[in-house]
Amino acid sequence: MTTATETTSAAATAAGQKGRRAALVRRERRRRIRRAAWNLVGLAVFGVMVFPVFWMVSTALKPDSEINSFTPTWFSPSPTLDHFRDAINRPYFWDAVKNSLIIVGVTVVLSIVLAFLAAVALAKYRFTGRSLFVVAMIGILMLPQVGLVIPLYVVLAKYHLTSDDPKRALTAVIITYMTFLLPFAVWTLRGFLLGIPKELEEAAMVDGSSRLGAFVRILLPLVAPGLVATSVFVVITAWNEYIFANVLLTNQSNHTLTVWLSYFTGTSRNTDWGGLMAASTLTAIPVVIFFLVLQRRIAFGLTAGAVKG
Amino acid sequence: MPWEMRMRVRHFAAAALVAALAVAAVGASGASGGSTANTLTVWLQNDAQNGWPDLVASVNSQFEKSHPGWNVDVQYQTWPTHLQKFDATLAGGNAADVIEMGNSEMTKYMAAGAFQDLTANKSDFDNSGNWLAGLAASARYAGKLYGVPYIAGSRVVTYRTDLFKSAGISKLPTSLAEYTAAAKKLAAKDKSAGFSPVYIAGTDWYVAMAFVYDYGGKIAITRKGKWIGTLDKPAALAGLAAFKRFFDVGSRASKTTIETRPWPYEPYAQGKVASMIGSSWFSCCVGDKYKSVTKQFVMPSHTKGQPMPGFAGGSDLAVPIGADKAAAVDWIAAFTSTESEKVLQAKGNVPNATNLLGNSVNERAARKTWFVPTAKNWVNVENGNILRTMLARILTGKMTIKDAAATASDNIAFTLNQP
Amino acid sequence: MPSSQVPDGTEVAAEATPSWSRRRPPLTRGRALQGALPYLLILPVLVVIGAVLGYPLYKLFTLSFQRYGLFELIRRQGEWIGLDNFSSVLHDRVFWHTLERTIVFTIVNVGLTMVLGTLIALLLVRVSNWVRVLLTSGLVLVWSMPVVVAVQIWFWMTNFQNGILNHVLTQLHVGDYFQHDWYGTTFSKLAMVTLLIVWGAIPFVTITVYAGLAQVPRELVDAAEIDGAGPLRVFRDVTFPILKPIFLILTSLSIIWDFGVFAQPYLLISPSNVDASNYLMGVYVYIEGYAQTNFGRGAAISLLMLVMVAAMSVFYVRRMVRMKDVQ
């Protein structure tokens, strides 16, 4: 049944289809090249940023004689795990790991929960004293902490929390960390909550849910990336904090990893650099694991499909 | 549904509030401390933990045997932060019973009344009649004794026997002039960039002030209760000039760097140093390659046959106020007894009394020492880096020796005379 | 009642109550609890902070008016000297030089951190998944390095004796950097500190901005791109407004932290080399106040620093406080 016109039109469509497919292939290739270019840039940035970390790990694997060689070497020709072994066998290593995990774990859970509640109040409700509270939060962040160390020690001593008893000592550190991290968490989570587009919230209101219920049910998934970022910050800050942990924890069996680490360099004799680098690498690992587990929650496009009619 | 959600959140908030209050309550209530037995808290630096933990353990068990019902809790500290922790415990009223203090840290705390008077107990400590001059001076204030000298260290020259031999240096130098000549020979033998015949860090004031004291100068003196800086007097100037001459001949270290960045033994281990002036324990870290060709000798004075005065560094043990003095004194007496000092001596330290001094290079060097002015604000002079700044200016030529010393002298006097 | 409207509870209630009382809604138990809810939500935070910081803040304030050194600390009794601490600090030339230096330092650091951090966050959006995971993990590694270790590594890399920076620069024939002393001049010292701080601060900014970008709905971006907007327009019109609160937070936090930074300059320049010629405020307050156990003076400087930082960040803070929220 094919007529001449139909044939030519079919041919035309076929040609048109082929042209469109070619254009699609070209666009696809351009996109792939662009992506590859960005990947290259990303890898370059990775290389520059991570170089000091690489240096730390590479030093941890070098035998003592090569650590401070006159011409620096990238990799050791004869790497060794001795420093890691020595670090782990140093007194109180496992105690320090346990203490750090407890302190940071409790701190982050309590801080995020309390801060989220307060941030919801600040971002979504109007009440007298709201501005004052916000300003107070940022005011605390502005305090130079060095000036507060001794009075804080005195006040915690009054609460009988500066003893060698691990429960009390760790509690002292936990509430100290919470005190300094809550303002930050509240401040940051409030920012994330304020950034949520209006449409998404109003969509939730339509079906007649109550305010707080809607907030918690709708906001929580939306602000998840913010919660993750904030909790990573809390974890890292608490994990690496030194000044307060050092003053508040007297008994070596209560020390956190950071304080334990300071004993590598605090002597008046030579420093065991290999050991320090190995110990630092070990100290960093739990945090990285924590982040890797959570990083999927910061996926781009999480809200895709949230506003759909 | 929404109402239940609201209720749940409200309950959650209330629960969190209760939890927070509970934490505070647990902390505030209850009996203080927790130990029913008596505890003697001792703060030692972690040098002891790394170097002679067995000695500490044996002294502890000895104490516990002779004091039934007591147990000793040794808490090791690090040098950079132990004073801040000490201040906090003083403010909180729960300082340790025994604390190890660097001898240049003592004066400030003695003047503030942080320690208990041990004058009446002096005879309880072994060899107290023969304590090293530098250490003993640091433990006395206003005529009273507030501390017990514990260990000391001094400065020696650590050198490469093979490099000295191949440069034709047959005899170890016994005067500064001979050492300078030796340095020139070493420089002629190895002309590579960055090679130091005598490694001295530019702002190593411990070495520089040794030159000052060698020429009869001083850092500061008191007259009628006021401190006067004396670095700009002729004797001190002569010492500084001698130091600059010696540095220019011998050291390729950075003129502005400090003596711990890098530690002298680091370039030594890289083969870039023929001799270095510093603590005797430097020999630990010269690297496997040069361990067998490393020896030490006493730093010579500009006067032939004499040793240059070495910095009398060391530690004292003190009893903070509020501590149980009798128990603390007993522990300190055991820890600084003749047997204990012999153990410390075997570990490479200088013991605390002249009658215990042996004949090692370290101990021979410790016979002639100098020490910083015993002023309560001396620590501020160190923290303000007045001496280091002066040395950097002199060595880089930014200021003449006279001007740099005059400025430093004024600053030192000003700082020491602060109320 | 119009037939098309289905009466629900509220409308019936509105009909039943007289018009004048509708202006002030009756204080039912539900409404009271509703009103108290925000206070309940912020209460735990207030309790924790108050219990711990209440006394120290009071002490910080009162100490600044006293002479309180080691002597007074041991006796727990200070001597009241009024405004002497403040006037001695404000008359100290070192204080003003340090302030000036710190302000410039803060501007440079915050600027570099925010710009580089945001650029890397935008980069993260455009790369493949595996590069993204690699890069964010690397950033977290950087972020999680303890400061002491980071300083030591940085010093090794830049030290004049055998630092790799000198080695690489010489190899690349950028110039003769054999044993170049990167800590010779004050500018050089602070430049090294800046690099260290910016390097350490980028991960936080990047990850937070990236988390913020995740809140930007894909639809809006696509819509803008279909309208023909280039990446710059998309950023300006779609992304930036949504990210504004986050930028405000990050900038204000960076100002606060960089102004009072202590560990990096103190450790990198080394405690033996910090002096009046290279003080930053954080180091200055530590040495003048606490290392010299002059706690009264330290408290006075701390309060002055608080005022300065507040002044520097007031622009951003005010914006944040007044930020119109969704309600």
Residues B204-221 have pLDDT tens digits of 999 999 999 999 999 999
pLDDT tens digits, one per residue of B348-371: 888 998 888 888 888 888 888 888
Is the CB of C271 less than 8 angstroms away from the CB of B321? no
Chains near A with 3+ CB pairs less than 8 A apart are B, C
A53 Cβ neighbours under 8 A, 6+ residues apart = A284, C138, C141, C142, C145
ipTM of predicted assembly, 2 dp: 0.78
Displacement of CA B162 from its chain's centroid (Å): 31
Structure letter (DSSP) for residue A304: T
pLDDT tens digits, one per residue of C40-67: 888 999 999 999 999 999 999 999 999 9
Residue A16 Cα distances to A27, A245, B216, C50, angstroms: 16, 72, 101, 73
Question: Could you give the CA distance from residue A283 to residue B78 in angstroms, rounded to a whole number?
Answer: 19
Question: Is residue B81 less than 8 Å (CB to CB) from chain A?
Answer: yes
Question: Could you give the CA distance from residue A39 to residue A31 in angstroms, rounded to a whole number?
Answer: 12
More confident residue, A234 or B154: A234
> Is the separation of the CB atoms in B303 and B179 below 8 Å?
no
Which DSSP helix (H) or strand (E) runs through B220?
strand B220-223
CATH topology of domain B38-153+313-370: D-Maltodextrin-Binding Protein; domain 2 (3.40.190)
State yes or no: pLDDT of A273 exceeds 70.
Answer: yes
Q: Where are the strands (E) in A83-219, listed by range?
A: none
Neighbours of A147 (CB within 10 A): 28
Displacement of CA A108 from its chain's centroid (Å): 11
pLDDT tens digits, one per residue of A59-112: 899 888 777 776 777 777 888 898 999 889 988 999 999 999 999 999 999 999
Question: Which tokens go with B197?
Answer: 């015949």
- For residue B24, which residues of chain C lie inside 8 Å, CB to CB? 47, 51
User: How many distinct helices (H) and strands (E) make up chain C?
Assistant: 16, 2
Closest CA to C46 of A170, B20, A187, A234: B20
User: Which of B23, B194, B289 faces A175 most closely, judged by CB atoms?
Assistant: B23
Question: Is residue A253 less than 8 Å (CB to CB) from chain B?
Answer: no
Neighbours of A95 (CB within 10 A): 18
- Give the pLDDT of residue C34: 65
Is the CB of C321 less than 8 angstroms away from the CB of A131? yes
- For residue C210, which residues of chain A lie inside 8 Å, CB to CB? 298, 300
- For residue C41, which residues of chain A lie inside 8 Å, CB to CB? 117-118, 120-121, 125
Structure letter (DSSP) for residue B315: E
Tens of pLDDT along chain C (327 residues) come to 343 444 443 444 444 445 554 555 666 666 666 677 888 888 999 999 999 999 999 999 999 999 998 888 888 888 899 899 999 999 999 999 999 999 999 999 999 999 999 999 989 988 888 898 899 889 988 988 888 788 888 888 887 777 778 888 888 887 777 777 788 788 889 999 999 999 999 998 998 898 888 777 778 878 887 887 777 888 888 888 888 888 888 898 899 999 989 989 998 888 878 888 889 999 999 888 888 888 999 999 999 999 988 888 888 878 877 775 533
Do B38-153+313-370 and B155-311+373-416 have matching folds? yes
User: Which of C48, C124, C290 faces A146 most closely, judged by CB atoms?
Assistant: C290
Question: Could you give the CA distance from residue B202 to residue B204 in angstroms, rounded to a whole number?
Answer: 6
Question: Could you give the CA distance from residue B398 to residue B402 in angstroms, rounded to a whole number?
Answer: 12
Closest CA to B362 of B119, B152, B210, B51: B152
Print burial letters for B65-91: b (CB count within 10 Å at least 16), e (below 16).
Answer: eebeebebbbbbbbeebbbbbbbbbbb
CATH topology of domain A92-298: MetI-like fold (1.10.3720)
**To the nearest whole number, what is the mean pLDDT of chain B?**
87
Mutate one of C321, C322, C323, C324 to test the A interface: name it (highest A CB count within 10 A).
C321
User: Which of C44, C178, C292 faces B16 most closely, judged by CB atoms?
Assistant: C44
Mutate one of A148, A242, A263, A270 to test the C interface: name it (highest C CB count within 10 A).
A148
- pTM, full prediction: 0.83
Question: Could you give the CA distance from residue B209 to residue B231 in angstroms, rounded to a whole number?
Answer: 10
- For residue A163, which residues of chain B lie inside 8 Å, CB to CB? 33-34
Closest CA to A71 of B192, B249, B258, C151: B192
Question: Could you give the CA distance from residue B241 to residue B233 in angstroms, rounded to a whole number?
Answer: 12
Nearest-by-CA chain A residue for B84? A247
Which DSSP helix (H) or strand (E) runs through B76?
strand B70-77
Question: Could you give the CA distance from residue B96 to residue B42 in angstroms, rounded to a whole number?
Answer: 6
- Give the pLDDT of residue A122: 86
Residue length, chain C? 327
pLDDT tens digits, one per residue of B57-109: 999 999 999 999 999 999 999 888 899 899 999 988 889 999 999 988 899 89
Question: Could you give the CA distance from residue B329 to residue B145 in angstroms, rounded to a whole number?
Answer: 13
Question: Which tokens go with A115?
Answer: 């801060």
More confident residue, A223 or A133: A133
Of the listed ranges A4-8, A97-101, B31-35, the least confidently predicted one is B31-35
Which DSSP helix (H) or strand (E) runs through B55?
helix B53-66
User: How many distinct helices (H) and strands (E) make up chain B?
Assistant: 17, 15
Question: Which tokens go with B230?
Answer: 């004396």
Interface of B with A in 9-48 (CB under 8 A): 9, 12-13, 16, 19-20, 23-24, 26-28, 30, 32-34, 45-47
Is the CB of C53 less than 8 angstroms away from the CB of A152? yes
- Give the pLDDT of residue B34: 38
Across-strand partners of B40? B72
Q: CA-based diameter of chain A, in Å?
A: 101
User: Which of A142, A258, A307 faces C306 most closely, judged by CB atoms?
Assistant: A142
- For residue B3, which residues of chain A lie inside 8 Å, CB to CB? 210, 213
* DSSP codes, B132-185: -HHHHHHTEETTEE-EEEEEEE-EEEEEEHHHHHHTT--S---SHHHHHHHHHH
Give the closest-approach CA distance of A297 to chain C in angstroms: 9
> Is the separation of the CB atoms in B152 and B132 below 8 Å?
yes
Sign of CA dihedral C97, C100, C102, C108: negative
Nearest-by-CA chain A residue for B313? A268
Neighbours of A90 (CB within 10 A): 17
Question: Is residue B53 less than 8 Å (CB to CB) from chain A?
Answer: no
Chain position carrying tokens 């004194």: B329
Question: Could you give the CA distance from residue C216 to residue C223 in angstroms, rounded to a whole number?
Answer: 12
- Percent pLDDT > 90 in chain B is 55
Residues belonging to chain B with any Cβ–Cβ distance to chain C shorter than 8 Å: 10, 13-14, 16-17, 19-21, 24, 80, 84, 87, 90-91, 108-109, 111-114, 193-194, 203, 254, 256-258, 260-262, 266-267, 270, 321, 379-380, 383-385, 388-389
Question: Is residue B305 less than 8 Å (CB to CB) from chain A?
Answer: no
- For residue B111, which residues of chain C lie inside 8 Å, CB to CB? 71
Nearest-by-CA chain A residue for C39? A121
- Give the pLDDT of residue B263: 86
B385 Cβ neighbours under 8 A, 6+ residues apart = B203, C272, C273, C274, C275
Interface of C with A in 261-290 (CB under 8 A): 262, 282, 285-286, 289-290
B244 Cβ neighbours under 8 A, 6+ residues apart = B394, B395, B401
Q: Where are the strands (E) in B226-272, listed by range?
A: 226-229
Nearest-by-CA chain C residue for A224? C211
- Give the pLDDT of residue A190: 85
State yes or no: pLDDT of A309 exceeds 80.
Answer: no
Across-strand partners of C66? C80
- In degrees rounded to 5, what are phi and psi of residue B303? -90, 125
Q: Where are the domains of chain A?
A: 4-51, 92-298
Amino acid identity, residue C309?
V
Give the closest-approach CA distance of A13 to chain C in angstroms: 26
For B155-311+373-416, CATH number? 3.40.190.10
Question: Could you give the CA distance from residue C98 to residue C27 in angstroms, rounded to a whole number?
Answer: 57
Is the CB of A152 less than 8 angstroms away from the CB of C52? yes
Residue length, chain A? 309
Question: Could you give the CA distance from residue A111 to residue B278 in angstroms, rounded to a whole number?
Answer: 50
Chains near B with 3+ CB pairs less than 8 A apart are A, C
Question: Could you give the CA distance from residue C233 to residue C224 in angstroms, rounded to a whole number?
Answer: 9
Structure letter (DSSP) for residue A22: H
Print burial letters for A9-48: b (CB count within 10 Å at least 16), e (below 16).
Answer: eeeeeeeeeeeeeeeeeeeeeeeeeeeeebbebbeebbee
Residue length, chain B? 419
> Is the separation of the CB atoms in C249 and C114 below 8 Å?
no
Is the CB of C292 less than 8 angstroms away from the CB of B380? yes
More confident residue, B368 or B336: B336
Bridge-based pairing state of the strands B313-318 and B98-102: antiparallel
CATH topology of domain C83-322: MetI-like fold (1.10.3720)
Displacement of CA A15 from its chain's centroid (Å): 54
Question: Which tokens go with A94?
Answer: 């496992």
Interface of C with A in 208-237 (CB under 8 A): 208, 210-219
- Give the pLDDT of residue B109: 93
> Is the separation of the CB atoms in C269 and C189 below 8 Å?
yes
A240 Cβ neighbours under 8 A, 6+ residues apart = A258, C144, C145, C146, C147
Please enumerate, as own/partner, the contacts of C9-16 that have beta carbons within 8 Å and a separation of 24 or more: none
> Is the separation of the CB atoms in A134 and A122 below 8 Å?
yes
Q: Where are the domains of chain B?
A: 38-153+313-370, 155-311+373-416
Residue C312 Cα distances to A156, C142, C316, angstroms: 32, 28, 9
Chain position carrying tokens 């430093």: B408
Is the CB of B193 less than 8 angstroms away from the CB of C178? yes
Which DSSP helix (H) or strand (E) runs through A66?
helix A64-67
Bridge-based pairing state of the strands B313-318 and B147-153: antiparallel
